[in-house]
């Protein structure tokens, strides 16, 4: 399955197009069920639609909205896969019982993780402050990936446990008993290790002990209890348990902050992804938001898919990923939006465009270049398809050539279609001349040759991209104001800004700007500034200005 994709759309539709058992791990952070009148994250069309979709009928409606989507999530998970579903007190009880137990089964419940997301909640007069989210962890079957996670040892534990120093090496260690070493108590291995004389050392030979602890010297305490040396420099830390208070929420100054309220910290996603996947595994986030999870998955060399219904979410995630791309170790990714950019469609190489259009029409493209008799593909039944990707309308002479090519392609099928009154060929174009349309009618009426005309717009919905003009004005010494004026048929959604543009890459310094105005101070010298305007369908356009900044005398 093709991965490393950001897909704009309702995750229900997108998940439906993903094959069974193809994903290793899902992290789902759906919009919460809350009683607020309106939860504004992005403030765009996709979000409003989704809000109305979920909240019209209260909690039952929300649960059934989620259920159909989680069913798809289970279907696409491999048998060894798992899901982490992030929610909060508004609906967690219902989600656990009605959605997860119901779909994944009670037996596949692994953990209820409590993440303390707020350090000091607001003072409440009549209830305890609410400071946590719940993350449910369910597997698809009894066999699933679980990589143990560790947190650094805390100071108290360091003090009470690691209080021995090995004389010869100076290494700090603790004398750990075998319960900690994962082998049960001393009695259980009695038949493998003989009781040593007091104060003598035995060598530990038992298998399946913690990594790095094999063949380690056993020390017997004065009471005769076996102990093993655990060195501090080897310690990975403590095992992570199901209450996560070590991962701080994002504060307003955090470097990774992109500026919307439900953004999750990368450390949280790193723990989840490292626990549930290995390098090269496939990770999917159906509510990708600002792209925290896919940014982490990308960094950890996992394959990934991110889906969101909001244009702003997808475009912000795209820019976030591009901002990080290191030219040497770039993991390429694709952004799929349902609306095609008309200008890009016109610029597509002829053969590539034909293939894309024939496939989108549901046909089988003719992959060989050169002499194809003007036939660019066939339907499943063998009927010829011809594509004319021309800005001007397709004329009568092109139809004549097509009519000559059809019987040459398959005479038997042509005669059969004619006889049965079936379509003999499909002609696809942006527009068709009047002459051609008249001739198509005549052919059908008089000669029983039925040609079907198809408009590209009905096959690949496209729109003109926005137009944008950027101007710069010096306000005072070293300080400039920039204004982006943009127009779009669907309306402008937002702008992003790159104040240090290098022509090859747009790396945003300001990701989400609704107004298209920015003020900034510069150092002396030449600077290139770029703005990207994104419209409500997700199409975008960049404009740039160059400024020469000089201190006034
Ligand atoms: C809680 S936020 C996710 C935040 C994300 N985990 C992050 O760290 O940035 C929920 C997201 O779900 C998206 N959403 C809502 N309904 C959706 C749907 N039906 N399909 C796909 N995305 C949807 C919203 O646009 C929003 O970006």
Mutate to test the pocket of ligand 1, among 30, 32, 55, 71 (most ligand atoms within 8 A of CB): 30
Question: What share of the chain has pLDDT > 70, as a percent?
Answer: 84
- The CATH class that applies to domain 463-549 reads mainly beta
Strand partners, 217: 203
Q: Which residues contact 544 (CB under 8 A, 6 or more apart)?
A: 470, 501, 528, 529, 530, 531
Per the model's pLDDT, the better-predicted residue between 541 and 235 turns out to be 541
Is the distance from the beta carbon of residue 264 to the nearest atom of ligand 1 less than 6 Å? yes
Q: Are 230 and 218 in contact (CB under 8 A)?
A: no
pLDDT at residue number 118: 84
Question: What CA–CA distance (Å, rounded) separates 461 from 45?
Answer: 18
pLDDT on residue 329: 53
11 lines ligand 1 (CB under 6 A): yes
Q: Please give the structure tokens belonging to residue 310.
A: 């909001």
The per-residue pLDDT for 186 is: 38
Mean residue pLDDT across the chain: 86
For residues 155-163, average pLDDT: 84
Query: Does the structure show a pLDDT above 60 at 182?
Result: no
**C-alpha of residue 46 to centroid of ligand 1, in Å:** 10
Burial of 486 (0-12, 13-18, 19+ CB in 10 A): buried
By mean pLDDT, which of 35-39, 272-276, 278-282, 367-371 is the weakest? Answer: 35-39
Higher pLDDT, 524 or 45: 524
Whether 33 contacts 54, CB under 8 Å: yes
pLDDT of 246 > 80? The answer is yes
What is the tens place of the pLDDT at every residue in 112-125? 999 998 877 677 78
Note the pLDDT of residue 47.
61
Whether 31 is in the pocket of ligand 1, judged by its Cβ within 6 Å, is yes
The CA radius of gyration of the chain, in Å to the nearest whole number, is 31
Per-residue pLDDT at 369: 60
CB of residue 263 inside a 6 A radius of ligand 1: yes
Instruction: Give me the pLDDT at residue 160, please.
Output: 85
pLDDT at 77: 98
Mean pLDDT score, 216-239: 75
> What's the pLDDT score for residue 177?
65
Specify the ligand 1 atom closest to the Cα of 30: 10
> What sign does the CA torsion over 159, 165, 170, 174 have?
negative
182 vs 375 pLDDT, higher one? 375
Q: Does ligand 1 lie within 6 Å of residue 289's CB atom?
A: yes
For the chain, give every domain's residue range.
5-148+245-336, 152-237, 347-454, 463-549
Instruction: Enter the DSSP assignment of 52.
Output: H
94 confidence band (pLDDT: 50, 70, 90):
very high
Q: What per-residue confidence (pLDDT) applies to 195?
A: 43
Q: What does 350-415 look like in DSSP terms, one character per residue?
A: HHHHHHHHHHHTT-EE----S--TT--EE-TT--EEEEE--SSPB-HHHHHHHHHHHHHH-HHHHH
Lowest mean pLDDT among 39-48, 122-131, 261-270: 39-48
DSSP assignment string, 115-173:
EE--SSPPP-SSSPPP-EEEEEEEESSS-------EEPPPHHHHHHH--EE-TTT--EE
Beta-bridged to residue 524, according to DSSP, are: none
Specify the pLDDT at position 204.
43
Regarding the beta carbon of 290 and ligand 1, being less than 6 Å apart is answered: yes
Ligand 1 centroid to residue 97 C-alpha, Å: 22
Please report which confidence band the pLDDT of residue 154 belongs to, taking 50, 70 and 90 as the band edges.
Answer: confident
* 425 neighbors 451 (Cβ within 8 angstroms): yes
Largest CA distance in the chain: 110
Atom 19 of ligand 1, residue of closest alpha carbon = 10
5-148+245-336: CATH topology is Rossmann fold (3.40.50)
- Mean pLDDT across 409-437: 95
- In tens, the pLDDT along 257-315 reads 876 667 899 999 999 999 999 999 999 999 999 999 999 999 999 999 999 998 989 98
What pLDDT, on the 0 to 100 scale, is given for residue 37? Answer: 45
358-362-365 Cα angle (round to 5): 35
Question: 26 CA distance to ligand 1 centroid (A)?
Answer: 14
Average pLDDT estimate for 413-422: 95
Percent of the chain with pLDDT over 90: 59
Domain 347-454 class in CATH: alpha beta
> To test ligand 1's pocket by mutation, which of 18, 309, 316 has the most ligand atoms within 8 angstroms of CB?
309
Would residue 510 be called left, alpha or beta, if left means φ above 0 and alpha means ψ between -120 and 50 degrees?
beta
């Amino acid at each position: 399955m093709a991965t490393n994709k950001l897909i704009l759309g309702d995750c229900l539709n997108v998940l439906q197009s993903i094959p069974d058992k193809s994903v290793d791990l899902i992290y789902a952070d759906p919009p919460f069920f809350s009683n607020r009148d309106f939860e504004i994250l992005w403030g765009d069309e996709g979000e409003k639609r989704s809000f109305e979709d979920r909240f019209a009928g209260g909690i039952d409606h929300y649960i059934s909205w989620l259920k159909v989507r989680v069913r798809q999530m289970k279907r696409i998970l491999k048998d060894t896969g798992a899901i982490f579903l992030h929610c909060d007190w508004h609906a967690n009880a219902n989600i656990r019982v009605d959605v997860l137990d119901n779909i994944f089964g009670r037996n596949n419940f692994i953990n209820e993780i409590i993440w303390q997301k707020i350090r000091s909640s607001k003072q409440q007069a009549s209830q305890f402050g609410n400071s946590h989210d719940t993350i449910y962890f369910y597997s698809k079957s009894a066999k699933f990936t679980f990589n143990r996670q560790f947190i650094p040892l805390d100071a108290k534990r360091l003090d009470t446990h690691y209080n021995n120093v090995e004389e010869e090496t100076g290494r700090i260690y603790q004398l750990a008993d075998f319960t900690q070493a994962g082998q049960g108590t001393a009695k259980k291995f009695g038949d493998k290790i003989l009781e040593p004389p007091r104060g003598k050392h035995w060598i530990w030979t038992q298998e399946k002990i913690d990594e790095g602890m094999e063949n380690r010297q056993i020390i017997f305490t004065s009471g005769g209890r076996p102990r093993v040396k655990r060195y501090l420099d080897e310690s990975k830390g403590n095992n992570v348990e199901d209450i996560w208070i070590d991962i701080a929420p994002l504060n307003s100054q955090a470097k990774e902050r992109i500026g919307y309220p439900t953004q999750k910290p990368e450390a949280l996603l790193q723990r989840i992804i490292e626990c549930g996947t290995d390098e090269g595994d496939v990770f999917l986030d159906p509510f990708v938001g600002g792209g925290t999870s896919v940014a982490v998955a990308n960094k950890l060399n996992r394959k990934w898919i991110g889906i969101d219904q909001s244009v702003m979410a997808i475009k912000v995630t795209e820019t976030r990923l591009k901002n990080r791309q290191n030219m040497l170790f770039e993991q390429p990714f694709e952004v799929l939006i349902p609306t095609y950019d008309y200008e890009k469609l016109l610029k597509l190489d002829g053969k590539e465009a034909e293939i894309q259009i024939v496939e989108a029409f549901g046909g089988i493209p003719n992959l060989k270049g050169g002499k194809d008799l003007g036939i660019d593909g066939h339907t499943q039944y063998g009927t010829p398809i011809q594509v004319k990707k021309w800005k001007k309308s397709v004329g009568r002479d092109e139809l004549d050539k097509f009519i000559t090519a059809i019987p040459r392609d398959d005479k038997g099928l042509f005669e059969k279609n004619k006889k049965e009154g079936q379509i003999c060929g499909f002609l696809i174009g942006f527009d068709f001349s009047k002459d051609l349309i008249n001739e198509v009618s005549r052919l059908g009426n008089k000669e029983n040759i039925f040609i079907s005309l198809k408009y590209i717009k009905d096959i690949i919905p496209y729109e003109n991209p926005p137009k944008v003009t950027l101007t710069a004005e010096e306000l005072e010494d070293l300080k400039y104001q920039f204004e982006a004026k943009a127009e779009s048929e669907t309306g402008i959604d937002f702008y992003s800004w790159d104040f240090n543009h290098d022509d090859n890459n747009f790396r945003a310094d300001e990701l989400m700007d609704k107004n298209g105005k920015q003020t900034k101070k510069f150092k002396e010298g030449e600077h290139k500034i770029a703005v990207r305007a994104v419209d409500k369908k997700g199409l975008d356009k960049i404009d740039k200005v160059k400024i020469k900044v000089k201190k006034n005398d």
